[in-house]
A and B are shown apart, each in its own frame.
Chain A
Amino acid sequence: MDSKKEPKSIRLQTRLILYSTLVILLLMALVIIIVEKRQSETIQEEAQKRGVTMARHLAAVSTNALLTYNYVILEQNAERVVLEEEVLYVIIHDKEDKVAAYSQHDEKQGMILTDEVSQKAARARAPLIQPILYGEKEVRVLDISIPVYIKESQEKWGTIRIGLSLEGMSSQILKTRLNLLLLGGFAIVLGILGSVFFARRITQPISKLVGTTIAAAEGDLEQAIDIHTGDEIGELGKNFNHMIEQIRLHRNELEDRLRQITSLKAYNDNILASMTNGLITADSELKVVTLNERAEQILEKTKEEVANRSLDQVLGDRHPLYGMMAETFAQDRVIFQPEIEVKRSEEPMWLTASASVLTDGEGKKIGVLAVFQDITGIKALEEKLRQADRLAAMGTVSAGLAHEIKNPLSAIKTFVALLPRKFQNPSFMEKFNITVPREIDRINQLVEDLLELTRIREHLFVALDVNHLILQVIDLYSEEMKKKQIHFENHLDGTISQIQGNAETLYRAFSNLVINAIQAMPNGGTLRISTGLISSENPDLRIAFSDTGMGMDAETTKNIFNPFFTTKDKGVGLGMALTHKIIEDHKGTIEVVSVEGKGATFVLSLPVAKK
């Protein structure tokens, strides 16, 4: 880490050092001052105490000598005491204040000292301490004088005086001071060193941290903090690392996401651009937000034109799209219009459109989206197809019709043609009378059925039992079924089978279905008929006719209900169409599912309640 990244933590370090140094200095100064003072006081007190003690002691041992004016003893005592380093002089005054002993100044023996200090001392009746300056060098001395009394008397028998040099004391105090100062200095130096060390120790990881975070802020997330102090700062470092790691991961994630989003957006844009559907979105104020390329084409407007302008301005307030989108947004529901007509410059256009509300992540409405497809072409095609279908149907019908009529007609024609030849043949005439009318009836029924097919008939609906009806049908065909080895499986739910309907036509429908099933199983099989509710929510009755017959291919399945649609597999042309119509007249639906070769299932649903 280069130093230009460290400015802040140097300040911190300096501050730390400065403060701790100041504190140390202050503390040390305080301590030194206090200690020195105490020491000095103590030393002084001690010195004084010593002096007083010595004086008292001397006084005690000198009492007898004073009583007897034994100067010799007093001198001996004085000389002994003066040997003490701090004692500069010992003077013993006798009762008359004359000098009985004066250390190292034998010449003064017997004299009276006239200096003020001696006078005061001699006069004092209690221990007296006088600070004086002694000798040539004017040494600071405490003159300690102790008056000597004897127990029984008030009379002062002498004065013991000790000159206690304060030099020793002074030098001791000085020494103490020096020691203290040196120690203090030493401690301060140590303290400073220590604080430098600790400041460094503390701020170094911090500056590392700072550096790393600065780097991280500038985007370099590869730096890891390397702090091993094993304390909170180390923790911090670890956490920082972790955090930076997290940030880095997130950033990578974000970058990925951004990339994703960008590519998604590009993809999106591509989609929008290449969509065959037009897309228009508006915000919550119904101002246009986006318009894709296809929408541009369809609406004949450019993105720039419509950007941020309100929908009604862009589309016109009568425009069906606008109405859809506005309603969608207002009512907060999806609106689907399979066909809307849009006036255009040349020809009207048909669109399939759906609009939905745009929400943000929390479900708040933020706008509305409409997707629409130009189905004009499709519609045209559809029309053509319908036409073709109709034609085809017509064709089928025709073909079927032709087929259905031609057979009976052929029979009739043959019989009629043979009539001239065989009219006298009674067997022939018998066959003629049976067959011809029958065939004529067939044609008639066919016509009737066709009419029926196209007729809009108001059916009379009564309550009837579907199951009952079905069973009747089965009953009718039971012989044939038996003959063809077709088994009937009864899954008729007895609980629900009442509907409103036309018995006659329903009967017809059911019969057709049964016939159809029978025809599908020429080699036998099973016809299962079940009734029941479609589901718990849907009250309509569901009836299923399942056979295990030949089944139908897709083509057949699709066209089974078309009139006269016959394949090689089915003979009845109109039957299924009729069934279909009947069921539709009942407001029900009929569908077929089939697997070729396996069988077919016709599923009917009939409303229980009249719609």
Chain B
Amino acid sequence: MNNFTKRILIVDDDKGILDSFEVLLGDRYDLVMADNGYEALRIIETEQPHLVFLDIKMPGLDGMDVLKKLHEEQKNVEVVIITATHREETEREAKSLGAIDFLMKPLNIVDVERIASQVLS
């Protein structure tokens, strides 16, 4: 795949979520999946996605840790947090770490598509 392909990484430990993203964005973009933070970082490193949908609650490295790492390394990638729980300080922290958006589950497809097209057009 070449860098021009619009690649999106989905990071969530829930299979349902991953499947839903698959059907939602799968036919328009190049989707890569990870079910934990470590995997996420690795893929970001190797696949260089342009956009990451990042769940927070995950075993091992959680979403916030990943975000931090990416922020530290100044990765050129856009991150959107997806989470079931909403807390103001979490949102603030995420945004301060460079997350471009903070989405609540259950996800609105409109929101998802919008962001995807924004980032990847």
Contact = CB atoms under 8 A, between A and B. Distances in A.
Interface of A: 399, 402-404, 406-415, 417-418, 422, 428, 431-432, 435, 438-439, 442, 519-520, 522, 550, 566, 568-571
Nearest to A435: B19
Interface in B21-67: 21-24, 36, 38, 56-60, 62, 64-65
A522 B104 CA distance: 27
Interface residues of B, number: 30
Contacts of A520: 59
Contact of A410 (B13, B17, B22, B59): B17
A435 B109 contact: no
Contact of A519 (B56, B59, B108): B59
Contact of A399 (B24, B85, B106): B85
Nearest to A411: B16
Contacts of B56: 568
B31 to A, nearest CB: 13
Contact of A415 (B14, B23, B62, B105): B23
A566 B57 contact: yes
Scoring A414, A415, A569 by chain B CB atoms within 10 A of each residue's CB, the highest score goes to A414
A403 B14 CA distance: 10
Contacts of A522: 36, 38, 59-60
Given A412-B106, A418-B24, A568-B57, A403 B85 contact: yes
B16 A438 contact: yes
B16 A422 contact: no
A571 B13 contact: yes
B20 A435 contact: yes
Scoring A402, A411, A435, A438 by chain B CB atoms within 10 A of each residue's CB, the highest score goes to A411
Given A406-B84, A411-B16, A411-B17, A568 B106 contact: no
Contacts of B24: 414, 418
B39 to A, nearest CB: 9
A422 B22 CA distance: 13
Interface string B100-119: 00001111110010000000
Contact of B16 (A402, A439, A519, A568): A439
B85 A402 contact: yes
A407 B84 contact: yes
Given A414-B24, A428-B23, A442-B16, A569 B105 contact: no
Nearest to B64: A568
B20 A414 contact: yes
Interface of B: 12-14, 16-17, 19-24, 36, 38, 56-60, 62, 64-65, 84-85, 104-109, 112
B84 A569 contact: no
Contacts of A428: 23
Given A428-B23, A431-B23, A435-B16, A414 B109 contact: yes
Contacts of A519: 59
Given A407-B84, A522-B59, A571-B57, 14 more contacts: A404-B84, A406-B104, A406-B105, A407-B105, A409-B106, A413-B109, A417-B108, A417-B109, A418-B23, A422-B23, A428-B23, A435-B19, A435-B23, A520-B59
B23 A410 contact: no
Given A407-B84, A435-B16, A571-B59, A413 B107 contact: yes
Contact of B19 (A406, A431, A566): A431
Contacts of B109: 413-414, 417-418
B99 to A, nearest CB: 17
Contacts of B12: 407
Scoring A402, A413, A568 by chain B CB atoms within 10 A of each residue's CB, the highest score goes to A568
Nearest to A442: B16
Contacts of A411: 14, 16-17, 19-20, 106
Contacts of B36: 522
B13 to A, nearest CB: 6
A413 B57 contact: no
Contacts of A431: 19, 22-23
A404 B17 CA distance: 11
B117 to A, nearest CB: 15
A401 to B, nearest CB: 9
Nearest to B14: A407
A84 B59 CA distance: 154
10 contacts: A404-B84, A411-B16, A412-B16, A413-B107, A413-B109, A414-B20, A414-B112, A432-B23, A435-B16, A435-B23
Contacts of B23: 414-415, 418, 422, 428, 431-432, 435
A495 B79 CA distance: 56
Contacts of B57: 403, 566, 568, 571
A568 B62 contact: yes
A570 B60 CA distance: 8
Contacts of B22: 431
A551 to B, nearest CB: 13
Nearest to B13: A571
Contacts of B20: 410-411, 413-415, 435
A435 B21 CA distance: 12
A410 B19 contact: no
B84 A402 contact: yes
